[in-house]
Amino acid sequence: SQTIHQWPATLVQPVGSPLSLECTVEGTSNPNLYWYRQAAGRGLQLLFYSVGIGQISSEVPQNLSASRPQDRQFILSSKKLLLSDSGFYLCAWRYFPGTGRNSPLHFGNGTRLTVT
Amino acid sequence: DQQVKQNSPSLSVQEGRISILNCDYTNSMFDYFLWYKKYPAEGPTFLISISSIKDKNEDGRFTVFLNKSAKHLSLHIVPSQPGDSAVYFCAASARAAGNKLTFGGGTRVLVKP
């Protein structure tokens, strides 16, 4: 069966410090990978998605970047954190069955980031 | 522009009764709809989905209804159980837009024993 691992679970970082959140998926190959953010009391906002190694699409302009160095590894980074980067970050994967069909996203347990 | 909206931020229901969660959308290109359940400090868990070619899908205690003409989606939970207390998100995607999921703002459900 497929599993998704996301770490760390919680993180407190000062403003201006770098960030690296990692996500790995097991039990599947060539998944679509996603980074979402949930701000306090709000819904989930798509930040980045990737359909393959080295292929990253950004949904919103921001202080963050993403990379996919391996098929089942997705990394969210920042060179200098802002206070507004605080939130709950979720990695998700999907096996996309192809043209004409659809499938749900499956989420990791998230990282609570607090920028102080 | 919020393409997916959950207008009720919270819902309280007695154990054993029906919970009805509602969701409205504006993008007529959406063709796949989902409901997720989320506990605090955890990632959302997929509950049930429906394709735009259907108007109802049922899985155990969960039933999703789709009214395309009204651009409205609902989730029925029968009977409600205390373990159903969580935040529920509806989501939608469009094949023409790369199947990216757009989420509503969530509805917090409290099931009272």
CB B100 within 8 A of CB B92: no
Residue carrying structure tokens 């504006």: B26
Q: How many beta carbons lie within 10 A of that of residue A22, not counting itself?
A: 15
pLDDT tier at A62, thresholds 50, 70, 90: confident
Pairwise CA distance, residues B111 & B18, whole Å: 10
- pLDDT at position A41: 66
Pairwise CA distance, residues A85 & B77, whole Å: 35
Contact between A43 and B105 using a beta-carbon 8 Å cutoff: yes
- pLDDT at position B32: 95
Contact residues, chain B to chain A, C-beta under 8 Å: 4, 31-32, 34, 36, 41-46, 49, 51, 89, 91, 93, 95, 99-106
Pairwise CA distance, residues A25 & A48, whole Å: 16
3-state helix, strand, coil in chain B (%, to 5): 5, 55, 40
Q: Is the pLDDT of residue A115 over 90?
A: yes
Residues of A in contact with B43 (CB under 8 A): 6, 90, 92, 107-110
- pLDDT at position B1: 65
- Based on DSSP, count helices (H) and strands (E) in chain B, helices before strands: 0, 11
Q: What is the mean pLDDT of each run of 10 residues along chain B (113 residues)?
A: 89 97 96 95 94 96 97 98 97 86 94 95
Residues of B in contact with A104 (CB under 8 A): 34, 46, 49
- pLDDT at position A103: 86
Pairwise CA distance, residues A33 & A35, whole Å: 7
Q: Is the pLDDT of residue A40 over 80?
A: no
3-state SS class at B40: coil
The nearest CA of chain A is from the CA of B23 a distance in Å of 13
The model's pLDDT over B7-16, given as tens digits with 9 standing for 90+, comes to 999 999 999 9
pLDDT tier at A42, thresholds 50, 70, 90: confident
Contact between B44 and A44 using a beta-carbon 8 Å cutoff: yes
